[in-house]
Amino acid sequence: MKAKNLFFICVILLFSGSVLTCSNSGDQDPYIKKMEKNKGNVFHGRSYGNKFLPDTPYGYELWSEIADVSDGNKNRLIWYGPKYGGGGAFRAEWNNAKVFLGRVGLFWNAGKPYSHYNNTFCDFKFTRSENGTAGYTSYIGVYGWSKSPMIEWYIVEDWFEPGAIGPVRIGGNAEKMGEFTVDGSVYFIYKAVRPAGVGNILGVYEPFPQFFSVRQNTRQSGTISVSEHFKEWEKAGLKLGTNMYEAKFLVEAGSGSGWLDVSRLSFYQKQEK
């Protein structure tokens, strides 16, 4: 149908009281196009343990305070499929979830330390909802856990509130342990301790440590030299466990309603020269 004829049909229906959404398919939102091709890759509720994404080396995890799908599936993760954006590209959406974590990336849990995996890198590019849509405690970056001992860790590239992330936002007991430069920015290193009774990968209720690298000039695309952070933490006296559990690209929202759209995401590893 020619655009001119479509225009006149839309005008006639509008004045007749009918409802019709008219658009030129050539101007269609790229997100809508991706959704049409990937209708089966929508996840919501909670995923306990890693769920692998077919035809990729990646897994995903999704957790929200509100797990029931009766909320209209507004807390969800949409994976765009193995052929789009490096195989890990995804979109996360939350709606008053209280706490929401959506992530895609590498799942190891093979009893090996980080040094076993050579040098790990993450290429990424994303857009997101505006500041104030994810609450005060919010993080975007690479995230994971180790076991033996259990440690939760973050490499923070961006967040949803203006101003610098520091001990107050990470946790009142956070301590700055140092700083270093990599990937074009200074990162501050923090250590915090989560109190007893907080959820974790082992399901135990004892306190556990958190390690943070916080980028001092935020960005929405680039390459993260993941292993360099592990090495710098170790220099600062923060040693990860001997079993690396995972390394995934994460959005964590403390509250609010918003979205993160990761149009490019891939992890790869190189041997040290």
Annotated catalytic residues are 152, 252
Task: Count the Cβ atoms, other than its own, within 10 Å of residue 205.
Answer: 12
Q: What are the phi and psi torsion angles at 12 (to 5°)?
A: -60, -45
How far is the C-alpha of 217 from the C-alpha of 210, rounded, in Å?
22
Those residues with Cβ within 8 angstroms of residue 116's Cβ, 6 or more apart along the chain or in another chain: 244
Tell me whether strands 243-244 and 138-147 are parallel, antiparallel or unpaired: antiparallel
| Nearest Cα to Cα of residue 57 among 266, 271, 270, 273 | 266
> Tokens 């149908």 correspond to what residue?
1
